[in-house]
Amino acid sequence: MKTAKLLSVLFISSALLTTACTPKDEAVTSDAVRKKIIAQNERKNNKNKKAGQQGFKFQFGSFSSTTLIVGKQLEGLEVLRYALDSQEAHKSVYKAEVTKRDDGGDTVKLVADKVVTAYTTSKGEFANTLTKTWDIDVTYVDGQVATVKAVSKKSRNSLDQKNLEKTFVNMNEDEAVVEALNENGVLKVSITAKGVINGRLKNAATREQYEFSEKLEVSLEELLAGKAAVKKADAKLDYIKEEGKKPWTSSMKADKMSVELQGLCNVAIFDTVMKGKNPKNMISTAEGIEVTQSSFKSTYGACGSRPTIDLSLMLIY
């Protein structure tokens, strides 16, 4: 198995990046080993096939899975911002309701009810539909934010590519939890989620059960300003396989990354170096994302029509 390492700024690894071989002229006597080699050879051959060709198999790749990690991070930070400053929620897909409690805390509800965001990237035209509700509890000590806990259950995020038949991504999330503890103006944040994501690219389909987790730190003041440096980020996305098999894992560690939280213009900005036999850079700017020396490249939707989690990136294969 190859592991991609990001130097200085980020570290990303993925069990989706796998190759296998046996020493030349070595006999394969184990059925398990033989099946593994056959499956790996099929994956290699599939890389040379294009969508729509007979035998093409679609799966969520390591690069696209990394963008999902970043999207989940943006979503969690966006929810925290609106929990603490609901007046900013009007810029987003959410409607906010705030109830002041007798204990001095806040009960906040963020609701997106089948909100459609139409947007265009260099990969085509898309329509994203989000149905999601966050129930949030905020506590204060001496007038200062102490803790935040946001929970979402049974949400749906779906994407359709316009003018391209049978091309879509559906993300059905069973539960997501965002928690934050304020320590001297620094939010210690934990984000978890689990559900199922499936997609179809022309005549090929894929489906994965996922579990996501991340811990990070961010300045409370910067978060409320909508532009923050993310520190000590440590995230993992597992695609859960049948019982007895290890999950396919994508992970990301970041000592330095900046995020801009402006409703339908959210973005994470970073530049990574991936070390391996063929080193590559993953670069995200305010305009788009690309992995050098690869076909993975796309602009983002324009500000005002940009979903926080861009599921169109899951279709790049």
Please, which pLDDT band fits residue 165 given cuts at 50, 70 and 90?
confident
What is residue 272's predicted lDDT score, i.e. its pLDDT?
Answer: 73
State mean pLDDT over 216-220: 98
Average pLDDT, the chain: 86
User: Any idea of the CA torsion for 252, 131, 304, 98, to the nearest 10 degrees?
Assistant: -100
* CA pseudo-torsion sign 136, 194, 197, 60: positive
Report how far residue 126's alpha carbon sits from residue 138's, in angstroms, rounded to the nearest whole number. 35
State mean pLDDT over 11-25: 41
Report how far residue 181's alpha carbon sits from residue 185's, in angstroms, rounded to the nearest whole number. 10
What is residue 1's predicted lDDT score, i.e. its pLDDT?
Answer: 42
Residue 262 has pLDDT above 80, yes or no: yes
